[in-house]
Amino acid sequence: MMKKYLVVTLASSLLGAIAATALVPSPSLPQATAQQPRVLGPPVARAFVPADGLTAEERTNVGVYEAVNRSVVNINTRTVQTNLFMFGSELAGAGSGSVIDKQGHILTNYHVIQGAREIQVTLADGKTYVARPVGIDPPTDVAVLKIDAPAESLFPVTLGDSTRLKVGQRAYAIGNPFGLERTLTIGVISSLNRSLPRRGGRLLKQLIQVDAAINPGNSGGPLLDSRGRLIGMTTAIASKTGQNTGVGFAIPVGNISRIVPELIRHGRVIRPEIGITRVYETGRGLLVASVARGGPADRAGISGFRIIRERRRQGNIVYEVQRVDRRSADLIVAVDGKKVTTVEEFLTRVERKKPGETVTVTVVRKGRKVDVSVRLAESES
């Protein structure tokens, strides 16, 4: 009632003003003609309203979604979990993915399909296909699936450039949170080059941090720029509850572009192998505990702990004991002239090389620095 009263009051006032003006013509106003009607009162500024009723920002949001939503797939998995009594229970999982070519390759996170015995991919047209993994890379949490779908049903996402991203830039995420297919959330890039720990002690590096809402089921979905180009793949959230807190992370498309071709071609990422199997972080460097026998580091002369076996007698019994001699172990302090003090730093330096290339490892041996050239082999995992 309040709103209706106000509208009526305003309308009545306006009519009164018009009537008053009509009764007392002003000599300063031009006389109306057939070609030019007389204007009563001051000119009123009118905001331009587009024909579609959308603002420029809204039009961009709609454009991104309409251009990309058909490229986003829903991934459902089934795994079997066994208990202490070897009884198995079936668990269902869900995630997202992106179509990357007309051959039916689907990009997603490794953790979305990890341990799955059955994987199903649902396209935008609602049709579901059985998927098989063609390549996985657990260290980077990237996986590629393959479905046998007709090419006309596949709409590949367009790759962008993650090297030119700016903090504050608009970012769009499309995924299937809580099973709600092709949901769009919008935010900004909050930071760049973030790192997150993963199982096994490795780090996910160079991640994009965003504040767009990311929830369970979003993993593996695309992160897009305002032109609808893929700039990353959503992979994790920082939350104690497992739900959105405004801090999400995505793997940059620059890393994905290097990994995916190898996954499709070889089923894995071919990385260099140096043949050092165990080290200890000391704060001053990495103390080599063991090297693979016959491996690159062993052939180059890098030494780990030495096992000394000794025979001892106690009465009529002779027994053998062994002790570890750490004095012969090399302490790695640099790779290619760059200081390293952690395993992550060491692996990052080595993995920038390719199998067959040579890396220079600086070690402290018996109190002296020594540069050792190691020819890298191809990793078998």
Query: Which residues are known to be catalytic?
Result: 111, 141, 219
The C-alpha atoms of residue 361 and residue 369 are separated, in whole angstroms, by: 10
The C-alpha atoms of residue 321 and residue 76 are separated, in whole angstroms, by: 55
Which positions ≥6 away from 18 have C-beta within 8 Å?
40
342-375: burial string, b at 16+ Cβ within 10 Å, e else:
ebbbbbebbbebeeeeebebbbbeeeeeeebebe
The C-alpha atoms of residue 295 and residue 293 are separated, in whole angstroms, by: 5
The token pair at 150 is 């007709």
